Amino acid sequence: MTASTAPAPGSAPAGYLALRLPDGSWVRHEDDESRRVWIAHSCACTLCMSATLLGAPASHYELRTPDGASASLTHVRYTSVIPHLHPDELLQPYTPPLTHSQTAAHLRKMLRHAFPGIRFSVRRRSGWKLSVSWSGGPSATEVATVAAPLLADYTTPGRRRARPITVKTWFGRPFHGTPVVDAITLKRS
């Protein structure tokens, strides 16, 4: 019998931070109607700096213009930015995108595996956004740890796309594709 190496349901992986994007990532702000591209950096305001020094995970960005100048958008919540593909990524090998239902089903399966006994509702919102809701059980940070890889692989600064995954179709055949999700909203009741 082998021992399980999965983290306990009540603990988040040690390397997790709320800021999933490395400094210099191209993003869009969800409230920006002109859909400009910004460069995200960790927020350096006094509030954020003192919170991180006390051990709290970083949770805000400072957005700059592509030429590096400071913008009017500082102390922006990490949930309000949407990753934007860098032009170099557009030339990377193409894998077909997953449908919304395939991506939602995969996320639901991952959440049930990570947190057995908890019911999760994964729904499509407007555009390429998903909404996850549940009651009791894990915190939003723990659920975000499971959901974040569907947004993109943020461990490598040069890659913003999510890694391709394999999902089962209705007839049990595997389908290999890339999840296309701009944002995942989490709501615990």
The pLDDT value recorded for residue 3 is 34
Contacts of 9 (CB under 8 A, 6+ apart): 114, 115, 116, 137, 138, 142
Q: How large a percentage of the chain has pLDDT more than 90?
A: 12
The pLDDT value recorded for residue 11 is 36
Query: How is the chain split among helix, strand and coil, in percent rounded to 5?
Result: 25, 25, 50
Q: At 17, which amino acid appears?
A: L
**CA dihedral for 34, 71, 91, 145, sign (positive or negative):** negative
- The SS3 of residue 133 is strand
User: Are 106 and 176 spatial neighbours (Cβ–Cβ below 8 Å)?
Assistant: no
Q: How many CA atoms lie within 13 A of 7 on its CB side?
A: 14
Phi, psi of 130 (to 5 degrees): -120, 150
Q: What is the pTM of this model?
A: 0.54
The pLDDT value recorded for residue 9 is 34
Is the model's pLDDT at 180 over the cut of 70?
A: yes
Higher pLDDT, 16 or 121: 121
At residue 134 the predicted structure's pLDDT band, cuts being 50, 70 and 90, is very high
Higher pLDDT, 2 or 66: 66
pLDDT tens-digit series, residues 49-108: 887 778 777 778 888 888 777 766 778 877 778 777 766 666 666 678 888 888 888 899
> Distance (Å, rounded) from C-alpha 124 to C-alpha 133?
12
H helices of 54-163, in order, are 100-114, 140-151
Two structure tokens written together for 25: 């990532």
